[in-house]
A and B are shown apart, each in its own frame.
Chain A
């Protein structure tokens, strides 16, 4: 039971950190507003469900909307800071400021009271398998995450655009001197990352609840996941996302939630002592 809980929570971590880590690998940008897109996805699900009654349509809308927002954010803000080599503090201020702004706007518009999103009718109920019973929806979240990560791996490994993304990650300058329109691809991938965060928001709404503070709640844990996995590594976040999910799940059940979060850092520090670059810290996205 705790294993399944851990894997479900881990799935949300994986989805959220995949976008963060890909963008970091590509542009060296840490997007502190990532959680805001997650929150927006979750709110879209809560607010659109009574109108549309179609979970799948809402997933698609949430992806497109958060993709578009992320696209604009890169195109109108991040790009110029990266170009003028002001990565560090300027980007921190921009992304953090934007995150706070979006959170406060949501608070003003929809209030700060936590809500629970509704799972789609078809996925309601419990699946019993011998002595183990488990909510169908939680299993669906794991399956859906696996499908998205599979699609991402296929995209990076097998498509021409994916090859170009990898080449920018490995050497931006050389890739551009071979004709790669890196600025355009960076914007696209940034949007892809925030779009997946939007999907994660829709998925997690019925499990973790929906409130403005989700903008920052998971951020620290996500940083742990991507550092632990090796910055920029997709395979790394899958493994470390699951490990962190399991640690939190067992820690919460056996001790308390607070201790569980501390435990995550203990595990991370222990692993970084052995592997300073994280589990899969290398140069490429798929390494």
Chain B
């Protein structure tokens, strides 16, 4: 297992947000965290990253306990984080945004190949490198922050709601980019509100409710259980059953 989270408890002040989350992510997998808002999906990512330090539990990354480390050390071990609000540095250029993880890793010799790899995944960024990041469109900003996360997050990327607020055609582009990421054997833990996007990209998923994992399994398994889709994800049940209940 690349990432193995066991019995994670996290609080925001007095409120007990994560009430014993356990999940794992194997190398090369895309794993989605699903569930309604306020169930602890974002907090799970923030806890792994050390931004909202968990009270108890364990987070084993590449065989090493990372719970309790400051975020910058977790990042330097190869965990990339893409926040929900994208967190791009608007007054820096696109290139400077991408450069930041490298400035911290001090692996200058790999910069050129890393940049090529990233621009291969997100071709529209190539012509924007010297532009201020704040002048990019929403979709381009999402590409930039994901690209930046991928440079930092080698081998694991934590991706929070990447398609939120994007136009449907832009979402399609982004799903394609995620599928390209998948072919490169990059590991992703994805929080996604949009069930269809998650199903198109992920291998497995966990459904969270009230700070606990309710259901976990491969996408194919989950798809076969309409009652789960209905109960936790708000997907309407198939015609027959929903009509008959009326």
Residues of A within 8 A of B (CB): 160-161, 163-164, 166-167, 170-171, 173-183, 282-284, 286-287
Contacts and interface: CB of A to CB of B under 8 A. Distances in A.
B76 A173 contact: no
B148 A178 contact: yes
B90 to A, nearest CB: 7
Q: Give 8 closest A-B pairs by Cβ, nearest first.
A: A179-B104, A174-B87, A284-B91, A179-B75, A177-B81, A160-B103, A176-B71, A176-B72
Given A177-B72, A179-B105, 11 more contacts: A160-B99, A173-B83, A175-B89, A176-B75, A177-B51, A177-B71, A178-B75, A178-B81, A179-B75, A183-B70, A284-B91
Contacts of A167: 89, 92, 100
Interface in B85-116: 87, 89-92, 96, 99-101, 103-105
Interface of B: 49, 51, 70-72, 74-76, 80-81, 83, 87, 89-92, 96, 99-101, 103-105, 148, 152
Contact of B87 (A160, A161, A173, A182): A173
* Chief secondary structure at chain B's binding surface: helix
Nearest to B96: A163
B87 A171 contact: yes
Residue among A177, A183, A282, A284 with most chain B CB within 10 A? A177
A178 B104 contact: yes
A180 B72 CA distance: 6
Contact of A166 (B72, B76, B91, B104): B91
B145 to A, nearest CB: 9
A167 B99 CA distance: 11
A231 B87 CA distance: 21
A163 B75 contact: no
A182 to B, nearest CB: 7
Contacts of B105: 179
Nearest to A170: B89
Contact of B92 (A163, A179, A180, A182): A163
10 contacts: A164-B100, A171-B89, A174-B83, A175-B100, A176-B71, A176-B72, A177-B51, A179-B72, A179-B76, A183-B70
A283 B104 contact: no
B100 A178 contact: yes
